[in-house]
Amino acid sequence: MTSQEKKIRNVLIIGGGVGGLTLAIGLRAAGIGVEIVDLNPYPSGSGLGIGPSGLKLLDRFGVARKLVERGTSSDSIFYGDAAGNPLANLSYVAKSGNGLPSNVTLTREALSDVLMKHALSAGATMLEGHTVDAIEQFPDRIEATLSDGSTRSVDVLVGADGTYSRVRGLVFGEHLKPAFAGQGIWRWLVPNTIGLKVGKTLKGETTKLGIFPLPENIIYAYVMLNLEQNEWMDDARTRTRVSEILKEYTDAEAIAAAPLLIDAESYVYRPLETLFLEGDWYRGRAVLIGDAAHAMTPHLASGGVMAVEDAIVLAEELAAAQGVEQAMKNFMKRRYERAKYIFDTSVRLCMIEQQDPTRAPNYQDIRGAALKLLAEPV
């Protein structure tokens, strides 16, 4: 048996987000040793949804119901115009099964808390406040030098460190950078002082507004807008731009929510940027998952789900294969085309929103086709 054919015993995960923590849970269930390294594993100020394929996979480890307890469940999303008139019923094609909803929306903080507690209780360890500075590969191991000067020698190193992945730069080259996608997005968590009961997405002329009630009397909200260039929004500009944008929204609950967003002291803003790593996502014993490999726009609300799928599939292949090379090949065979289709569709929907709507293809048909793919087993 060669060094590449030995069973995998330990894995170093750089990045303690959705993908990294889910991978840790899957690996520990298979008896593989795990250490997670993250500069700041405690996200705040935003929300996200986990759809049916993600909930199905997480249910294997007893995690899905804990997420449901911390979020708001739904089987469809109301999609209307700026006045609140319905445009479409965005129902989820797939069902999670086993008594679970099709989707749960929750804060990133709640999602991280559930996943981290599960990973640590399963035996994973966490090093906070550090990242990786150097990576060196050998036939029988991979070695990482961390930012505190310490080193790790493991069988596999996983870059789950997001869109601006340090691991990707070290392994594949610093030339791989995310590209601006033509839109920007603000996200808020604000007190639900307006009695919002049901979430909704509203489409303006060149913007989009989403407001969703969460437990603990919180609203998760976002505003997305088209941008001609990649520009940063400071506090003053944010207040001015958001105030201008929300004037278009005459839906009663949008009007009620507007002051909460305009006057909020805390928010998250970022331009939408994308990257898809063509070809294999691994080099030797180092592999990328989640946004580090395929940072997509949020138009299918599937970035988190893609990270969960990557993590569970990689954990399965690392546990089953007699060696790293075979595990990596099997992982790519199961993940590449599916992730590429979801990435391409998300970016296409982003581009459609920036076109003349009278000449744009059918948004809902394109979205529906992608959701059908997501309904298929991983």
Report how far apart, in Å, the C-alpha atoms of 307 and of each of 7, 202, 320 are: 24, 27, 20
Residue 91: per-residue pLDDT: 67
- The CATH homologous superfamily for domain 3-72+101-177+274-375 is FAD/NAD(P)-binding domain (3.50.50.60)
**What's the chain's length in residues?**
378
Q: Which pLDDT score is estimated for 1?
A: 44
- 181-272, what's its fold? D-Amino Acid Oxidase; Chain A, domain 2 (3.30.9)
Q: Token pair of 226, please?
A: 């088209």
**Domain boundaries, given as residue ranges, for the chain:** 3-72+101-177+274-375, 181-272
| pLDDT value of residue 371 | 80
Taking phi over 0 as left and psi of -120 to 50 as alpha, with beta for the rest, 41 belongs to alpha
The partner residues of 34 in beta bridges, in order of sequence, read 11
pLDDT confidence of residue 15: 98
User: Dihedral, CA atoms, 274, 280, 285, 287, nearest 10 degrees?
Assistant: 20
What local confidence, expressed as pLDDT, does residue 241 receive? 96
Instruction: Return averaged pLDDT per consecutive 10 residues of the chain, 378 residues in all.
Output: 72 98 98 97 89 93 96 89 87 68 94 98 98 97 98 98 98 97 97 96 95 97 95 92 98 98 95 97 98 96 95 98 94 98 96 77 80 81
Write down the pLDDT at residue 252. 98
